Structure 1
């Protein structure tokens, strides 16, 4: 009777181990590079940047890196980067003219929420959503106008790679 117990124990262990042997989850559809459609930006054409490219990378260990490269209307390039665990914890942002701190969370596949601040003052909150086909992304920006009046704008991105 003792010997018949071991095959059952091995079968139970194999069933419980099966999820660990399953395929790794698919990479987030956010990962990769995205270029903004500058023609659709809600600012006068002369004030629009020549380009904005956001790249999201999985750098391992549960961490992501965001790199934002902007070519301003005058041709000057600026770049911002941050590396973080996407759990909503605040981290420093280097090189950004709008923010020096960010907190990012991934509430579900294809959705990212980021809060930005500069000098301890809240800036904007941005929600990025990837389309079902994975080729476009929208950015909804929540910010405050003069007098603390809340406002929103939407930016449209296409996948570069």
Structure 2
């Protein structure tokens, strides 16, 4: 089912307007993105203060992904992974959501991320950059209550074009 969803999503993205050109042909996903916390599907008091995700091209190693979260109480966390863009599993360091990740880049503006925690699938996320390159949509699919499939959409704004900070 996931494969069908990804194929349909990619087909829809690829048949749409062209993605805004990036310097040196780089993916428009590269750089740092801040989630719009006001649109998170949770009570305002439970929302994190900030969530930033940064994608960096590390050449032959693939991409490094950094996720920085400041929770509602002000506690900060920094998770990091480096994975090839071919679906090969790679470790995630310091994440409460996952210890393993796999990435694929089916189109320059689309990243598919599969997350696993303790050998159990945690979520599949599809990141899509808008044509203007200024906004990013994350669609997350996971097992919700009673094992039923759930999906949520998060909205991000580009904050800068830079690489992940060193661990």
Same fold flag (TM > 0.5): yes
Where does residue 36 of structure 1 map in the other structure?
A: 35
Q: Which has the higher strand share?
A: 1
Shift of 1:62: 5.0
Secondary structure of 1:93's counterpart equals strand
Where does residue 46 of structure 2 map in the other structure?
A: 47
Aligned mates of 1:61, 1:121 — CA distance in 2:
28
Aligned mates of 1:40, 1:146 — CA distance in 2:
21
Where does residue 147 of structure 2 map in the other structure?
A: 148
Secondary structure of 1:87's counterpart equals coil
The answer to whether the Cα contact below 8 Å between 2:101 and 2:113 also exists between their aligned partners in 1 is: yes
Aligned mates of 1:149, 1:36 — CA distance in 2:
26
Shift of 1:86: 0.9
Aligned mates of 2:136, 2:74 — CA distance in 1:
25
Moved more, 58-67 or 109-118: 58-67
Uncovered stretches (5+) of structure 1, i.e. residues with no partner: 1-23
Higher RCO (C-alpha under 8 Å, 6+ residues apart): 2
Shift of 1:146: 2.0
Aligned mates of 1:115, 1:133 — CA distance in 2:
26
Shift of 1:84: 1.1
After superposition, residues 98-117 of structure 1 pair within 5 angstroms as: 98-117=97-116
User: Runs in 1 of length 4+ with deviation above 3 angstroms?
Assistant: none
Aligned mates of 1:44, 1:83 — CA distance in 2:
32
Secondary structure of 1:157's counterpart equals strand
Aligned mates of 1:105, 1:40 — CA distance in 2:
27
Shift of 1:144: 0.9
The answer to whether the Cα contact below 8 Å between 2:82 and 2:90 also exists between their aligned partners in 1 is: yes
Post-superposition Cα deviations, 1:96-144, rounded to whole Å, max 9, x if no partner, equal 0000001110011100000111000111100000000000000000011
Structure 1 vs Structure 2 CA RMSD:
1.2
Quick check: 1:91 aligned with 2:90? yes
Aligned mates of 2:71, 2:61 — CA distance in 1:
33
Aligned mates of 1:74, 1:143 — CA distance in 2:
26
Secondary structure of 2:45's counterpart equals helix
Aligned mates of 2:41, 2:147 — CA distance in 1:
20
Where does residue 82 of structure 1 map in the other structure?
A: 81
Structure with the greater alpha carbon radius of gyration? 1
